[in-house]
Amino acid sequence: MGTRGTGRRIDSLSSLAAPAVVVLVVTLVVAGLLMSIAAGSGLVRPTGISTVTGTGTGAHAGIGLDAVATGVSAVLLDVASGAILHEQGASLRLPPASLTKLMTVLIAVEATEAGQASLDDVVTVSPHAASMGGSQVWLEAGERHSLGDLLESMMVASANDSAVAVAEHIAGSEQQFVHIMNTKARELGMGDTHFVNATGLPADSGQPEAYTTARDMATLALEVLRHPKVLEWSRTRSKVFRKQPLFIMETTNPLLRAYPGCDGLKTGHTDAAGYHLIATAVRGSTRLVCVVMHAPSDKARAAQCAGLLDQGFATLQSARLAR
């Protein structure tokens, strides 16, 4: 779920265990698959997620299965076309952990765009929000912050207390907000996803746990990327959240510092979930999204995601040269 205090400093990618380089031997032959993103024009919304070739856990677009460790769920896709370049265990249901906050931020940002809220709204922190454990910015009951600052702290520091404060501000209660989250998931076609809170923390004792899949998280990531403000927040590496007493937020995403072109998106971790990472990166006119779930460690999720991104960019470049 992240770390307490001022956050941890992230080492360079050279300290991560890199996966073996896989020889790319299959060339994309689907005509018109790669829709270019015009420079500076933002993201092109895909019509949906589609598989380039094959189904199940087979290799797609020449990316071998050994790119990702056994037991890890993964999806790699091209944002412009929505085409899946690799998937492994993509339909396995897992606890979403803090990847949940992507849905929380999506609903809040959509509310501001619809005029139902404003990023400048002043949010008063409730005792319930202040009581959250795990990753947090140490909000106290009665403390007041702008909605925008709370959303940014969710994306940078994975703040659970901020997530609940946001949910209560938008919907009146966290419970009502969760209903909105699940309605939105159904609208997006996330048929293997169910949320139980706004944070991704484990459910209360005796209550059913949340679940999702790597494929559903890829769908959610594509929707989130339609909102530039979220990407702006998620690329932030370090920022002062509070001056008195001083609290500096540190990103939980190691690839922001270690992987060229990476500008988001979200980490997650609980004991039951393992280590999750959704990363997005740009090279030239190509943007990819990589989802890695249930990795054995924070270093493993970063290394495996970086390896898949490398192979995805190489595969798409080879396909362009072959045309």
Catalytic, out of 158, 162, 184, 234 = 158
C-alpha 288/C-alpha 282 separation (Å) is: 7
Give the closest residue to 155 by CA, choosing from 229, 258, 79: 229
Decide if 101 is catalytic. Answer: yes
Q: What are the start-end ranges of the H helices in 172-225?
A: 174-187, 214-224
- For the chain, give percent helix, strand, coil, nearest 5: 35, 20, 45
Q: Respond yes or no on whether the N-terminal peptide bond of residue 245 is cis (omega within 30° of 0).
A: yes
Decide if 153 is catalytic. Answer: no
Catalytic, out of 101, 135, 153, 184 = 101
Catalytic, out of 73, 81, 98, 126 = 98
- Amino acid letter at 109? V
Decide if 158 is catalytic. Answer: yes
Neighbours of 116 (CB within 10 A): 10
C-alpha 79/C-alpha 68 separation (Å) is: 20
C-alpha 256/C-alpha 262 separation (Å) is: 5
* In contact, 145 and 168? CB cutoff 8 Å: no
**How far, rounded to the nearest angstrom, does the alpha carbon of residue 189 sit from its chain's CA centroid?**
17
Pairing mode of beta strands 83-88, 50-51? parallel
Neighbours of 128 (CB within 10 A): 15
Give catalytic residues, as residue numbers.
98, 101, 158
